[in-house]
Amino acid sequence: MKKLFLIIGAPGSGKTTDASLIAEKHPEQLVHYSTGDMLRAEVKSGSELGKEIESYISRGALVPLNIIVDTIVSAINHAPVPNVLIDGYPRSVEQMEAFDTIVADEKEIDLTAVIEVRVSEAVARERILGRAAEAAPGEGRSDDNEAVFNDRMTIYTEPLEAIQNFYTDKGLLHVIDGERTLEEVVADMDTFVLSKIQ
């Protein structure tokens, strides 16, 4: 049985950095996967699937449901340790409902909590556009620019309330204030996750 934590947050919320630092602290207990990183790895491989994925990522659009569901289910099944953090899922009501069906059928996955790293749009914008300005030429992400940021933010915000309500009703939603220092956010998330697995 694997305990699963889903981590959601706006672009620039810091969710990927937070989760990877926590997993690094407890390598025997926790592993972390970021949906964005897994998709970008497929793009980098140069496969046909990667080319299809890049056509969505570069526009800030969501990749199709079957691609993202296969990506996360395969990550969970191959996880080498019993507790898994996945950030960047769900990002739509459709994804949430699809995963609910999978969790109901799949006795090996225990959805333990959904953590929302909450930041205002202004903070998210400042962080993402700052990240774009700091990237070396050719090294930045194809989706870190203002026009694509706006689309990513809209896509994040539109289903958010439905996602929050769904997991609140199940007693699974845990909100973390992401506007503090990285150390504070990580310490908070770390304490919460450990309280659920020990």
Interface positions with ligand AMP (CB under 6 A)? 11, 35-36, 39, 56-57, 60-63, 68, 88-89, 91, 95, 143, 152
Give min distance, CB of 195 to ligand AMP, in A: 25
Closest CA to 71 of 110, 100, 108, 35: 35
Query: In the chain, where do the E strands start and end?
Result: 2-9, 30-34, 83-87, 109-118, 173-177
Give min distance, CB of 154 to ligand AMP, in A: 11
Phi, then psi, of 149 in degrees rounded to 5: -55, -45
Q: Token digits for 19?
A: 């989760």
Report how far residue 168's alpha carbon sits from residue 194's, in angstroms, rounded to the nearest whole number.
20
Return the number of the residue (31 or 88) whose C-beta is nearest ligand AMP: 88
Return the number of the residue (31 or 128) whose C-beta is nearest ligand AMP: 128
Return the number of the residue (42 or 188) whose C-beta is nearest ligand AMP: 42
Return the number of the residue (44 or 197) whose C-beta is nearest ligand AMP: 44
